[in-house]
Amino acid sequence: MTWFAEMDEILLDAFVAEDEKGNRHDGTWTSTAFDNIVKECVEKFGHVIDKENLKNRQRTLKTNFAACYDAFRGHSGFAWNPESQLFEAEPEVWKEIIEANSNAAKWRYTLIQNYDKLERLFANDRAKGKGAVSAKEKSRQWREEENVDLTNSSIHEVESPDICVEPNSNSPTNASSQKNSDVSCKSDSF
């Protein structure tokens, strides 16, 4: 399926609308969101589109946005201009950004349509800070951790509270609340 700029704009508007309705939880779209977006896109595009088409396009948009967004992370002195649809900065700022990340050079002259919508939808999904790692990096770390020998790990025993059962009663009570009563108590450990 070939996507055009107008289609991306309709798709992103639909995602924003579903986000405003609360149909995304912790960065994950609900089935209702996808159903609504499919319906809207079919109506506006005039041809059949399915959930997988939407997911694939979302993945492409998100990947392209991430490349752009990450190229500028940690830098200042630049701004995205919604009219020109370009990042703008003084030449010395561009030089600094490109020296830090050579992939940033392409964003000097590449139009970024709907950046404001992309940022709203996907910026919070980007790892931030010193210890930030991508999903691919985290997956590699987990695979490496699976090879860790756990035979010398220690298990800490936890002492259980004293539980008392009164005669002719099925409800346990805390032993500390029993004073001078004729109740048998037993302290069990797990």
Query: Do the Cβ atoms of 187 and 160 come closer than 8 Å?
Result: yes
Written as tens digits, the pLDDT of the chain (190 aa) is: 889 999 999 999 999 999 999 999 988 999 999 999 999 999 999 888 999 999 999 999 999 999 989 888 888 899 989 999 999 999 999 999 999 989 899 999 999 999 999 999 998 876 544 444 444 445 555 666 665 444 444 444 444 444 444 455 454 444 444 444 444 444 343 3
Would 52 be classed as within a structural domain?
A: yes
Q: How many CB atoms lie within 10 A of CB 26?
A: 6
pLDDT computed for residue 47 by the predictor: 85
Q: Which domain holds residue 120?
A: 5-126
Integer-rounded Cα Rg, in Å, for the chain is: 28
Q: How many CB atoms lie within 10 A of CB 88?
A: 13
Would 53 be classed as within a structural domain?
A: yes
pLDDT computed for residue 73 by the predictor: 83
Q: What is the largest CA-CA distance in the chain?
A: 87
Would 132 be classed as within a structural domain?
A: no
* 115 and 44 in a common domain: yes
Would 143 be classed as within a structural domain?
A: no
Would 92 be classed as within a structural domain?
A: yes
DSSP sequence for 115-141: HHHHHHHHGGGS--STT---HHHHHHH
Would 147 be classed as within a structural domain?
A: no
